[in-house]
Structure 1
Amino acid sequence: MSISLASPRSAAYGAALLRISLGALFLVHGLTKLLVFTPAGTVAYFHALGLPGALAYLTIALELGLGLSLLLGLYARWIGLLGVPLLLGTIVSVHGANGFGFSNPGGGWEYPALWAVLLIVQALLGEGAWALKPAR
């Protein structure tokens, strides 16, 4: 049985691959803040940026929640959109002043901008294959 690259079925697999990849990235970032930097270290970093410490906890929770939702396909089409303001916030507060290239010192805004666009693409495509609870 062959699947055409232009078939709706292959599009569903492509959307699932995007969703799972985005979810894994959010989980890695959230777990890094939780287990490597620790919540206290993340709060200190946010304070150094002039941001409230409570925002560090919200960021960790969002990254972990978004990661799980996307990875499992739990209303991922809409919940994933919650990541867009988070990523735009990182551009404004952290990466924007560092230029475009993410290889710039401090990381430019290239990576979070692409990530935000991919979340919008995910919302337009839907969850794809293997989603536990697709949004309607």
Structure 2
Amino acid sequence: MIDLVAAPYAVLLLRLCLGALFIAHALLKIRVFTIPGTIAFFQSLGLPGWAAYATIAAELIGATCLILGIYPRWAALLLIPLILGTIVTVHGKKGWLFSNPDGGWEFPAFWAASLLAVFLLGDGVAVLIASPMPFGR
């Protein structure tokens, strides 16, 4: 049975943690790898260079929406393809365990499942703009 009192706070915790992860990964691309380095990496994967900008923007905008509670349920849903894309383009070939050399797809799969949980559970508490209900009430 779901604790209806605690569940919205658990969703908030998920939102904050997921948002922090997206900010960390965007800043990694900007500050450590640099924009030109990130573009070169994307191109080495066969992706267009502009996809690096789109990815960084999606990470920062999605993180902001999750953390501040701006349509967080829908932000979580829209970020899932981004994470699944990392499995397809980068981590899938590295095996399951993220501790494998260059990282496997264990962590991105868990990340995608966590985003799906936010979508299915709802916005949680501390929301600036609530998401419309996808399944009715």
Deviation, structure 1 residue 16:
0.5
Identity %: 53
Tell me the SS of whatever aligns to 1:8: coil
Structure with greater helix share of residues: 1
Match of 2:37 in 1: 41
Provide the TM-score with structure 2 as the length reference: 0.91
Letter in 2 for 1:8: L
Is residue 106 of structure 2 the alignment partner of residue 114 of structure 1?
no
Letter in 1 for 2:24: V
- Aligned pairs, number: 132
Q: Which runs of 4+ in 1 moved over 4 A?
A: none
User: How does 1:13-32 map onto structure 2 within 5 Å?
Assistant: 13-32=9-28
RMSD between superposed Cα atoms in Å? 1.4
Provide the TM-score with structure 1 as the length reference: 0.92
Distance 1:122 1:41 in 2: 32
Distance 2:31 2:66 in 1: 21
Tell me the SS of whatever aligns to 1:9: coil
Match of 1:64 in 2: 60
Deviation, structure 1 residue 34:
1.5
Letter in 1 for 2:33: F
Distance 1:106 1:53 in 2: 21
Distance 2:3 2:46 in 1: 49
Is residue 85 of structure 2 the alignment partner of residue 92 of structure 1?
no
Is residue 122 of structure 2 the alignment partner of residue 126 of structure 1?
yes
Distance 2:49 2:125 in 1: 38
